[in-house]
């Protein structure tokens, strides 16, 4: 299937890289010649310099035979026009990155239905939701939901003295008998590995664990964490992400303070968020942070428009005693700095956009996809086809690729945490964690 991506920025570049690695026929349209040249040099895709809303440019990109168009520039209006233009060529799916809430209102002349867009992605809302979930978990660096929320994938760092440190997965499984956990990935020194029973977990490892949502709350304890209750949160910056997050916090009656260095924006925030305390000030001013009680605060979230300020204010808050610190990071390469700076977790509106889009570019039996920050692998939920080669065979005998592991099998209302003796049946849903080069083989096994 030909996929046309309009916009070669961080989102378009990341999508293009993922899709081209999987053998998809990808074309990226980028208006900036320098950026287009960079994309062309770095990725195995066709690159066109031009306006993605232009019919001649779309025809040059092969829109007549495209099955999907992804309009992911930073400008809503350009993305909408791209999808409108694509509608003339009967493209199967048209996906747009949209930030303006007016486009989401049902019945509006600007609504998704009126514009013929199959999916709108709001990056700011996605990032705010993720930050809210991370604030409520002391341990999690990443969170992803599967099976309509029945399963939760949690990323966390193994602390010194943790119960699991120094033990193999076989030994951990024996100690935690009766608990339905599956460790699906281990990141050590920046390298992602899909573990097997003999894999030993060490202090400092970044592990990813899949578990039923009803049991997920116990996972941090085994990695050396204790629970806490969210009462007070400070947000640095008055961005749209900050507004969405503050509303989540207000709904849960969490005390919220917002710092922003733009006086006019502070007035707007005070009107939008009547229950929040809005202060005019610089979030990188250590004296101000200490004066406003950052020491011992339950959560600190840096949601300004600049990565550098977010990272600096997060480091200041953490060193001043904030218990849980989360930073918004827009540049993908900065995600790997989160742990090195001592920040608890990072969120990316652009990464959230990529996650929401990827499920639409897989084969028809893929239900949902999550790409995780700083990890080379993906987690995805798949439907087992009626003639899939894997049906009826114990998982231990399937000859699964080394770069992949099945975490769970969903059969009706049952959730089965996968073991070697388990089998899958037609119609089952499975949650798989895989490195990119293993994904085509995985799709074949379940198709």
Question: Cβ contacts of residue 208 below 8 Å, gap of 6+?
Answer: 142, 153, 154, 155, 183, 184, 185, 186, 187, 372, 375, 379, 433
Asked which of 52, 87, 121 is the last residue of a domain, the reply is: 121
**Domain match, 239 and 348 both:** yes
d(CA 191, CA 193): 7
Tell me which residue of 123, 75, 120 sits closest to 303, measured CA to CA: 123
Judge whether 175 lies within some domain: yes
Reported confidence tier of residue 179, pLDDT bands at 50, 70, 90: confident
**Domain match, 282 and 256 both:** yes
**Domain match, 282 and 196 both:** no
**Domain match, 235 and 344 both:** yes
Judge whether 359 lies within some domain: no
Q: What is the pLDDT of residues 99-134, one digit of tens each?
A: 877 766 555 555 556 666 888 888 888 889 889 888
Tell me which residue of 91, 18, 4 sits closest to 350, measured CA to CA: 18
Judge whether 400 lies within some domain: no
Which range marks the domain in which residue 19 is found?
2-121
Q: Return the pLDDT at 398.
A: 87
Q: Count up the domains in the chain and report the number.
A: 3
Reported confidence tier of residue 381, pLDDT bands at 50, 70, 90: confident
Asked which of 222, 239, 263 is the last residue of a domain, the reply is: 222
Judge whether 331 lies within some domain: yes
Residue 302 CA from chain centroid, whole number: 17
**Domain match, 251 and 188 both:** no
**Domain match, 268 and 250 both:** yes
Judge whether 105 lies within some domain: yes
- The share of the chain scoring above pLDDT 70, in percent, equals 93
Asked which of 308, 336, 352 is the last residue of a domain, the reply is: 352
């Amino acid at each position: 299937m030909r996929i046309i991506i309009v916009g070669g920025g961080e989102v378009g570049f990341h999508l293009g890289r993922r899709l081209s690695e999987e053998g998809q026929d990808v074309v990226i349209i980028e208006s900036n010649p320098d950026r287009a040249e960079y994309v062309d040099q770095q990725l195995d895709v066709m690159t066109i310099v031009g306006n993605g809303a232009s019919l001649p440019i779309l025809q040059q990109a092969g829109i007549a035979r495209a099955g999907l168009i992804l309009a992911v520039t930073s400008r809503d209006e350009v993305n909408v026009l791209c999808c409108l233009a694509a509608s003339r060529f009967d493209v199967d799916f048209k996906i747009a990155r949209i930030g303006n809430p007016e486009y989401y209102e049902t019945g509006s002349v600007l609504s998704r239905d009126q514009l013929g867009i199959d999916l709108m992605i709001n990056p700011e809302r996605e990032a705010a939701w993720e930050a809210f979930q991370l604030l409520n978990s002391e341990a999690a660096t990443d969170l992803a939901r599967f099976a309509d929320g029945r399963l939760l994938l949690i990323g966390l760092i193994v602390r010194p003295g943790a119960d699991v440190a120094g033990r193999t997965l076989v030994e951990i499984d024996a100690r935690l008998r009766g608990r339905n956990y599956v460790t699906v990935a281990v990141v050590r020194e920046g390298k992602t590995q899909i573990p097997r029973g003999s894999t030993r977990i060490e202090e400092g490892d970044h592990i990813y664990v899949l578990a039923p949502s009803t049991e997920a709350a116990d996972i941090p304890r085994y990695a050396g964490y204790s629970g806490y209750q969210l009462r007070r949160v400070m947000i640095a910056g008055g961005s749209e992400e900050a507004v969405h997050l503050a509303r989540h916090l207000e709904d849960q009656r969490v005390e919220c303070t917002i710092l922003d260095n733009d006086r006019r924006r502070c007035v707007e925030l005070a009107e939008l968020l009547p229950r929040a305390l809005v202060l005019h000030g610089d979030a990188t001013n250590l004296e101000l942070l200490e004066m406003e009680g950052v020491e011992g605060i339950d959560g600190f979230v840096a949601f300004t428009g600049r990565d550098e300020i977010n990272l600096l204010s997060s480091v200041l808050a953490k060193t001043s005693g904030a218990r849980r610190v989360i930073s918004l990071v827009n540049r993908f390469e900065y995600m790997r700095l989160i742990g090195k700076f001592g920040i608890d977790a990072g969120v990316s509106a652009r990464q959230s956009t990529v996650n929401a889009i990827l499920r639409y570019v897989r084969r028809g039996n893929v239900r949902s996809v999550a790409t995780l920050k700083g990890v080379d692998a993906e987690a995805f939920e798949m439907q087992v086809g009626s003639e899939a080669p894997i049906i009826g065979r114990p998982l231990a005998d399937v000859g699964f690729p080394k770069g992949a592991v099945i975490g769970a099998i969903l059969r009706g209302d049952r959730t089965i945490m996968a073991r070697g003796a388990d089998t899958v049946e037609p119609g089952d849903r499975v949650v798989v964690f895989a490195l990119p080069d293993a994904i085509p083989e995985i799709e074949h096994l379940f198709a």
